[in-house]
Amino acid sequence: MSKVNLSVNLAGVDLKNPLVTASGTFNPQAHSQFYDLSLLGGVTLKGVADVAWPGNPTPRIAETYGGMLNSVGLHNPGVEAMKKEDLPFMEQFDTAVIVNTAGHSIEEYCRVSEALQEESRVDLVELNISCPNVKEGGVTFGTDPKMVEKVVAAVKKCTKQPLIVKLSPNVTDITEIAKAAEAAGADALSLINTLFGMRIDIYRKKPILAQKMGGFSGPAVKPVAVRMVYQVHKAVQIPILGMGGVMTAEDVIEFIMAGATAVATGTANLVDPMAPVKILEELPQVLEKLGVTDINEIRGIIE
């Protein structure tokens, strides 16, 4: 048995290890057929709104070198359906549950959080501020520090659980956004969300995705993600859930050295359903090679 301590504390919630699944890349019912979800530090459920969202037209997934593009559009059945299906299912597992929330207005975000207030199986709420604000002409919530502060402050008031704010990388200065979220009451930050990307089918002379552009994720974005986690760790005092191209135990350690408290797998879950388990098997071995006995020792060690 490994002597390495993998337990971490994310915004007051104890996790048995730092590995979490990223929203939109993980289906508890499907993935639990491959392994016991209790092995994970935490599970993030797919983004959910106050009512069902149909998502974008297909095709909405495209492979690309070093990653993938998606324009799923937060297709979800609504918070009430999630409360009836996903949360009861998660009762059987000893792992933290994070619910990712979406909205097109501050009021929509608040309604989702209010619907989750009495749910004991929800340990943390992750606020996805990469949604367009329909009341402000479609400007993305997460790209304007003032708008970030406004939405986070409002949602914090109607959220009982610790609030994680998920940051968009599609900004000029990620630290400005992070500081705004912290000032408004965020308990933690998660980053990065997907980058904007596009692919064109040269034979059909058309974009591959129906929406033309989509979110770019996978190993190719990891250097950007690590850089942003490093910058944000230096700029704020609250913990970070790092993500972006995590495929191996070495990737997890890299994010933690940059300043992350916990680390999420995203695209890896789609490439190989067993990816989180394989990473967890490797993690203590790699840490032992580095002479590390407690994973918390290496957090943010890069000057």
Instruction: List active site positions.
Output: 131
Closest to 190 in 3D by CA, of 224, 134, 246, 228: 228
E strands, the chain, in order = 8-10, 13-15, 19-21, 42-48, 61-64, 67-70, 96-101, 124-128, 132-133, 139-140, 163-166, 188-191, 195-198, 200-201, 206-207, 213-217, 240-243, 262-265
- Rounded CA-CA distance 176/15 in Å is 28
Length of the chain: 303
Beta bridge partner(s), residue 165: 127, 189
DSSP state of 28: H
Token digits of residue 303: 């000057």
Beta bridge partner(s), residue 53: 76
The H or E element that residue 56 is part of is none
User: What is the signed CA dihedral for 109, 164, 172, 72, rounded to 10 degrees?
Assistant: -60
